[in-house]
């Protein structure tokens, strides 16, 4: 919940000026009220537009919610689903996330599905078991051939907004477990799934994290709020 529409336009303008030659797919996911401003600012840009959430129904008495069709008309290509803050503060369940994933795929929007553990679960040695269960629950009923449209973000809840981060090796082991869970569901289609690390990645640790074998990118939070610091991660 950052940036007004005007601030969003300025941010995208600044970011566009700094990404020439970037060898990365870049997505910005502003709040709902800023999507129209972002769409306008992104005209002619290689940066894709994403949303931070989406409802699983096409329309109806769901005051305050936003449908896939609304997002599509605003040029949205990606949507973050099951973010740790949505799970923590708004009681979103694995079943709810699964319904949203299926609706996004039906409407041609690529889901960025978040999974991750709390500190107590990590300390109890449950990380790999938990993320595998979350992954399978979120992707239940998804066709193997649709896996290429899905992005997964490993987002350890204990690292969000704390400045703490898993070691690159630990993050890679967990992401391997996520990919293994997808492989059990979809065979070799698992190789097409991009899996991101979302636990306080920044310009200081991006290079080490991105050197790992199974980390395909980052879901960047606070470090993306300034175009300069975000660009430095892009060009890690």
Per-residue model confidence as pLDDT tens digits over 13-23: 999 999 999 99
Q: How much is the average pLDDT of 185-208?
A: 94
The domains of the chain are located at 5-234
Per-residue model confidence as pLDDT tens digits over 106-117: 999 999 999 999
117 catalytic? Reply is no
155 catalytic? Reply is yes
Phi-psi region of 202 (alpha: psi -120 to 50; beta: other; left: phi over 0): beta
Of 14, 92, 155, 184, the active-site residue reads 155
Does residue 119 have a pLDDT over 70?
yes
At residue 161, the pLDDT reads 67
Of 25, 65, 83, 123, the active-site residue reads 83
Name the range with the highest mean pLDDT among 136-145, 151-160, 200-209: 136-145
Give SS3 for 137: helix
Per-residue model confidence as pLDDT tens digits over 39-84: 999 999 999 999 999 999 999 999 999 999 999 999 999 999 999 9
Joined together, the tokens standing for residue 189 give 């289609």
- CATH class, range 5-234: alpha beta
Joined together, the tokens standing for residue 200 give 């306080």
Give SS3 for 190: helix
Looking at the chain, the whole-number percentage of residues with pLDDT higher than 90 is 92
Does residue 159 have a pLDDT over 80?
no
């Amino acid at each position: 919940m950052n940036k007004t529409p005007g601030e969003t336009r300025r941010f995208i303008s600044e970011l566009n000026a700094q990404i020439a030659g970037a060898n990365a797919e870049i997505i910005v996911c502003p709040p709902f009220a800023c999507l129209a401003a972002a769409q306008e600012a992104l005209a002619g840009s290689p940066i894709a537009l994403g949303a931070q959430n989406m409802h699983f129904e096409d329309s109806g008495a769901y005051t305050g919610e936003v449908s896939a069709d609304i997002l599509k008309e605003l040029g949205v290509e990606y949507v973050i689903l099951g973010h740790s803050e949505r799970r923590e503060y708004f009681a979103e369940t694995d079943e709810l996330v699964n319904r949203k994933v299926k609706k996004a795929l039906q409407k041609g929007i690529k889901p960025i599905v978040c999974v991750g553990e709390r500190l107590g679960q990590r300390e109890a040695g449950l990380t790999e078991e938990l993320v595998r269960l979350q992954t399978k629950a979120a992707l239940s009923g998804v066709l193997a051939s649709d896996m290429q449209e899905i992005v997964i973000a490993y987002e350890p809840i204990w690292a969000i907004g704390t400045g703490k981060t898993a070691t690159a090796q630990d993050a890679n082991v967990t992401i391997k477990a996520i990919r293994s869970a997808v492989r059990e569901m979809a065979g070799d289609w698992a190789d097409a799934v991009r899996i991101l690390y979302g636990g306080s990645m920044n310009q200081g640790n991006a290079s080490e994290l991105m050197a790992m074998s199974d980390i395909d990118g980052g879901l960047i939070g606070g470090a993306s709020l300034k175009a300069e610091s975000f660009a430095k991660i892009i060009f890690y």
